[in-house]
Amino acid sequence: MIWDLNDTVGCRLDEKEYVGVNLKRIAVMAVAPVVWLAMTVTPASAESTWSRSSSAGYAEGIITNTGDVVSGYVEDIKADGLCVQIEIRWYDSSGNVRDTDWSDVACPKGDKEWFSKRAGDDPYFNPANRKIILNTL
């Protein structure tokens, strides 16, 4: 792909926020594009993605490479009087639930709730496993 120096390259953070960089500003400094790309590229192994869906809602997000932070959003997708919420169960090495977190409730249709949850309630811990559940309320 060939870009014009007047183009802007960026990404949408959510429905309201957009982060962009004008290519002309980057091209002015010969080394800047390489440094900028090196700083913004995340290795594929750094995080994994997840998603859940039901007739009432949808949710998706990422899990950090250490596995102790789950973040993303949950959205109510149907005008049915039901609401949706994410539940995260954090497990210890013995297979027992050590902590449970919930997102805010998304309701009514079109409502999207963003969240970031960490295993433990200070002190935090590195879970052996986690289960991400989309609940309908």
Residue ranges covered by each domain of the chain: 8-41, 46-136
CB-count burial class (<10 Å; 0-12, 13-18, 19+) for 103: buried
Q: Which CATH architecture has domain 46-136?
A: Sandwich (2.60)
pTM of the model: 0.66
**Predicted confidence (pLDDT) per residue in 50-90, tens digit:** 999 999 999 999 999 888 999 999 999 999 999 999 999 99
Share of the chain above pLDDT 70, in %: 66
Q: Is the pLDDT of residue 33 over 60?
A: no
